[in-house]
Amino acid sequence: MTRPAQAAPGGRPGPLRRVAPALGLFLLSPLVAEYLLGNVPPSELWGLVVLAPMYGGGAIIIREVTRRAGRGWPTIILLGCAYGVLEATLIDQTLFNPAPLFEGDVSRGSTLIPALGFSAVNALGFTVGHAVWSIGVPIAVVETLVPRRATTPWLGIPGLLFTCVVFVLGSLVLFGGIRDDSGFMASPPQRIGAAAVVVLLAVAAFLVGWRSRPAKDGRSPKPWLVGTAGFVASAAFVARPEDWWGTAAGIALIAVTAVVVGRWSRGDGWGATHRLALAGGALLTQAFLGFLLLFLHGTATTANLIGQTVLVLGALALFLVAHRGAREAGEAREAGP
C-alpha cells in the first residue's frame, strides 16, 4: 500500500498540511475584518489579493511570535492593539485623515483632539476593532480547528521571515494606493508618536502573562454563557454613542470584559470551547453589523446582500466545524488514555 500523499516520512504531515492553518488564517483575517464587517462589499472579493498580505500576514506574525515565545492570549490581544494602531496611523493613516470615513460620518468631529489631530472615538474603535476582529477572532477560530497544534508554531523560521516580507510589501502597496487616492500624509510628529505607541504596546505585550497566575476556585461558566457575554460586550461596544460619553463607556466596557474573562479563564474547565464561544459572540456581532454597513455605505445591492448572506453562512459553518472539533478534543482529554 502506498503512503498517503500528505504524509511525510516518520508520520509527520506533508509541508502543505503543516502550513495549512497559516494559509487559513491568511485568508480568514481579511474576510472577517473587512468583508464580514461590510466595509468592503462581496462584489469586491478580488480585493483579498491586496488585503490579505497586510491583514493575514499581520495575524500570522502575531500568532507565530506569541506561540514561539510561549505566551498566551493577553500577548495576542496587545499585539493586536499594536497592529491596529500601526494600520490606522502609519499604513492607511485613516485615524489622522480629516476626510470622513463614509458619506454622512461625523465620528471624527465629535471627539476630535485638535492638538493630536485625531478623534478619540475613532482611535478606540480602530485599535480595539483590529485587535478583536482582525487578529483575535480569526486566530481563535483557526487554532480551534487544529487542536493538536493550537499552541505550537505553524511555520519554520524561513516561513515566518517570508510572511514578514509579504506583510511589509502588502502594507506598502496599500499605503501607496491610499496615498495616491487621497493625497493625504500624516505629519512627522503624528507618525513618530504613532510609531512610539506601537512599540510601547508591543513591549507591553511581552511584559504581561510572563508568569502563570494561580487558578481560582470554582468552575468556569458554560461555553454558551461565555459566548452570550462575548456577543453582548462586542455589540455594546460597536453600538456605543460616538461621543465622549461613548468613548468613556467603551473604555469601561473593555476593562470590565478583560477582568471578567480573566477570572473565568482561570476557573476549572476553561478550554478551547470557551475561547471559541467568546470569539463566536464577537463574530455574530460582526455579521449583524455587516448588513448595516452595506446600507450605510450605499453598497446594499441585491448581489452584495446575497454575497453577504453567503459570507455569514460560511462563517457559521466554520464556527460549527470548529466547535465540534473542540468539543470532541475536550471529551477525549477527559476520557484519558
Query: pLDDT at position 182, please?
Result: 79
Terminal CA-CA length for the chain: 29
Task: Assign 3-state DSSP to the chain and report helix, strand, coil percentages, each to 5.
Answer: 75, 0, 25
Query: pLDDT at position 183, please?
Result: 82
pLDDT digit string, tens, across residues 211-258: 556 666 578 899 999 999 999 999 999 999 989 999 999 999 999 999
Query: pLDDT at position 93, please?
Result: 92
Low-confidence ranges of the chain (pLDDT < 50): 1-10, 332, 335-337
What value does the CA radius of gyration of the chain take, rounded to a whole number of Å? 20
Q: How many CB atoms lie within 10 A of CB 16?
A: 10
**What global pTM score does this model have?**
0.90
Q: From its phi and psi, is residue 102 left (phi > 0), alpha (psi between -120 and 50) or beta?
A: beta
Query: pLDDT at position 235, please?
Result: 96
Is-contact 138 29, C-beta < 8 A? yes
213 φ/ψ angles, rounded to the nearest 5 degrees: -95, 145
